[in-house]
Structure 1
């Protein structure tokens, strides 16, 4: 009788221990209703962005880092077409922000973009001139005057494409001293005195206030560039990339972009 009672008690204890053990172990099963994996706690987010986004995106990057302890945002600012070429050649990035939709379309068609790009801002051209505007440049047509040293963006760059649109619509033919690979190089030549004037974006001239003067011209409204942003295909930090694009498209992104003169997404 004692042997039977002991055996029964032992079996009961074994069953109880097994039940407790299985209840303490976390479940590894996943169902169709499970949520997406959260963004990693740390790491580097690599953003390829048009040169004209330098000031606003640098500020947004710092805000994003503050909201994501352990995350570092690294930027590569160049002409949009050059950035697409890098992606086509296998460069690793998480986010791509272009200065026009045409260049983003090329990136999408070449298969380096994941999902559908979203427009987050607009921009238009302005004329950057030396402080005090010593050459008295007041209109777009003035840039064709003899004796002026004018620089523009190369035609394959969004700011260069916009320049060509204005030339065509106004019937004005420019004879630039040089065609630069991005808008910041145009601005730098005006700042250094190597050029009397340069066609840049409103935002670039605004960011360089005190170093150059800005001349607005009405014809620029006929060549407004829309800026799209997208997650790069096979992004090393895909979850963070999605969060950053949402951040740029959100209220904080709009506020920072507006500060420097970007127009709203249309």
Structure 2
């Protein structure tokens, strides 16, 4: 073999090795790019975002039972792998449970005053947002046999009337309406939440109760509703807040977002709530 031929052969071999090295380098670079979850800025990409999961525990005013139960099912359907559990009751009792250390993610109260029990203890994150309002109505027996037509009619002798306890938002609102009309009413019982007051009428243990319009609507033909003008002076704002020690913060935020969304507001409006 001539010296010129040997030189040509060595050059060809060198070029083959260099080409193979470049190809390997390109393949390695492509693998590194595909396996990473960061963009050019070094921040996680959208594809690497964590999906919602786990249980969200919501403490909510009793009057929210029907609408929140519906929203809970909608949330679970939209986010497979999540579960929404509820504790419904008087807002004051729920607030006391939260400040006492009960584990919960979200609190939806029937008045700013009961929400303040939680915020004053620094147990909520940020400023609670008002998401709906609610107005009072008189619930009577079906057909309204006692011919109740006004708030004043509830003071008739012999009429068995039930009110929510004054520490509960519906009870405080009822007292505010009575005071605005200079009326004094002694009920046969004070109930710890609005559903308990309504149940007394449904079971015919009382002739009438002052509850929310939403509760009258939810009861259907079990009671009859009577509107009264003084209720306009005692409309309750409903605030909602993420709790400081929420076990499932991100999923809780998503549930609150659903409540405030157009979809959530439609469910609440159909239940009889007023827009904030």
Aligned length: 261
Check if 1:123 corresponds to 2:134.
Answer: yes
Partner of 2:104: helix, strand, or coil? coil
Distance 1:32 1:248, change over 3 A: farther
Scaled by the length of structure 1, what TM-score is found?
A: 0.88
Residue aligning to 1:80: 91
Asked if structure 2 preserves the Cα contact closer than 8 Å seen for 1:122 and 1:224, the reply is: yes
Asked if structure 2 preserves the Cα contact closer than 8 Å seen for 1:64 and 1:244, the reply is: yes
RMSD (Å) for aligned C-alpha atoms: 2.7
Distance 1:237 1:40, change over 3 A: farther
Residue aligning to 1:155: 166
Scaled by the length of structure 2, what TM-score is found?
A: 0.85
Distance 1:35 1:217, change over 3 A: farther
**Greater Cα radius of gyration, structure 1 or 2:** 2
Partner of 1:184: helix, strand, or coil? helix
Deviation at 1:38, TM superposition (A): 5.1
Q: Which runs of 5 or more structure 2 residues have no equivalent in the other structure?
A: 1-12
Deviation at 1:97, TM superposition (A): 0.4
Residue aligning to 1:187: 198
Q: Which of these residues, 72, 75, 93, is aligned with residue 61 of structure 1?
A: 72
| Per-residue Cα deviation, 1:75-118 (whole angstroms, up to 9, x for no partner) | 11001111111101111111110001111122111111111111
Partner of 1:209: helix, strand, or coil? helix
Deviation at 1:146, TM superposition (A): 0.8
Q: Which of these residues, 153, 166, 170, is aligned with residue 142 of structure 1?
A: 153
Q: Which of these residues, 236, 244, 251, is aligned with residue 225 of structure 1?
A: 236
Asked if structure 1 preserves the Cα contact closer than 8 Å seen for 2:59 and 2:86, the reply is: yes
Instruction: State how far apart, in whole Å, the 1-side matches of 2:95 and 2:45 are.
Output: 32
Residue aligning to 1:26: 36
Partner of 1:210: helix, strand, or coil? helix
Q: Which of these residues, 215, 218, 224, is aligned with residue 207 of structure 1?
A: 218
Q: Which runs of 4+ in 1 moved over 4 A?
A: 15-25, 31-40
Instruction: State how far apart, in whole Å, the 2-side matches of 1:32 and 1:82 are.
Output: 47
Q: Which runs of 5 or more structure 1 residues have no equivalent in the other structure?
A: none
Asked if structure 2 preserves the Cα contact closer than 8 Å seen for 1:133 and 1:213, the reply is: yes
Instruction: State how far apart, in whole Å, the 2-side matches of 1:219 and 1:39 are.
Output: 50
| Per-residue Cα deviation, 1:125-165 (whole angstroms, up to 9, x for no partner) | 10001001111111001111110111100011000110110
Instruction: State how far apart, in whole Å, the 1-side matches of 2:192 and 2:42 are.
Output: 48
